[in-house]
Amino acid sequence: MLALRPRPFTCSGLRRAAKPPVTALRLRAQAGVTLQSLLDDAVNAGLGKVRFIVLGDGAILESVNNFGSVRYNEVPNRGVLATVASEDKSFECHITLSKVREVKFVKSKAKSGEYDIYATRFLGADSKVLMSCLLHGQQGQYDPAAVEAWTNLATKYGESVTF
């Protein structure tokens, strides 16, 4: 039979081995976050005017629009396509969901000027940036509600979410 040793009574409380904190990314991955749910949250967050930037081979496209409604369509040979559109449909942004491997929320200093940039980057294979969405404001003059909305999304999803 095993002899149990009595433990002395202490008031110092229980001490547990320190565990590394669970990252937001790990929590979200376990919760089954999808790109579709992230896009739905972004639409409903109140981001306001956003600069959509796509770098192509030999061209750059930038357009400023509200992060408006989003709809999803199954496209033969491409999979699910998300369309972010303005109310009057004068602006549409199409995202092939299967091509996006990661979304990063990045707050950084502007290259010229003393203000922050709030970027949401959609990355594909080999971490290549497919599209960036930046809060829009002149020289860092953002709508405070948009900054709060972006910060809430970044807090909810963490710095990086992989799909």
Residue 73 belongs to a domain: no
Residue 67 belongs to a domain: no
Output the CA–CA distances (angstroms, integers) from residue 92 to 2, 129, 159, in the order listed. 73, 19, 26
Residue 105 belongs to a domain: yes
Q: How many domains does the chain have?
A: 1
Residue 141 belongs to a domain: yes
Say what the pTM is: 0.79
Query: For residue 35, what are the domain limits?
Result: 24-62+100-158
Per the structure block, which two tokens stand in for 81?
Answer: 């396509």
Residue 31 belongs to a domain: yes
pLDDT by residue for the chain (163 residues), tens only, comes to: 444 444 443 344 433 334 334 344 444 444 678 999 999 999 999 999 999 999 999 999 999 999 889 999 999 999 999 999 988 989 999 999 999 999 999 999 998 888 999 999 999 999 999 999 999 998 889 999 999 999 999 999 999 999 9
Residue 88 belongs to a domain: no
Contact 80, 159 (CB under 8 A): no
Residue 94 belongs to a domain: no
Alpha carbon distance 124, 121 (integer Å): 10
Query: 3-class SS at 33?
Result: coil
pLDDT of residue 31: 61
Based on the number of CB atoms within 10 Å of its own CB, is 134 exposed (0-12), middle (13-18) or buried (19 or more)? buried
Residue 90 belongs to a domain: no
Alpha carbon distance 104, 121 (integer Å): 5
Q: What is the CATH number for 56?
A: 3.40.1570.10
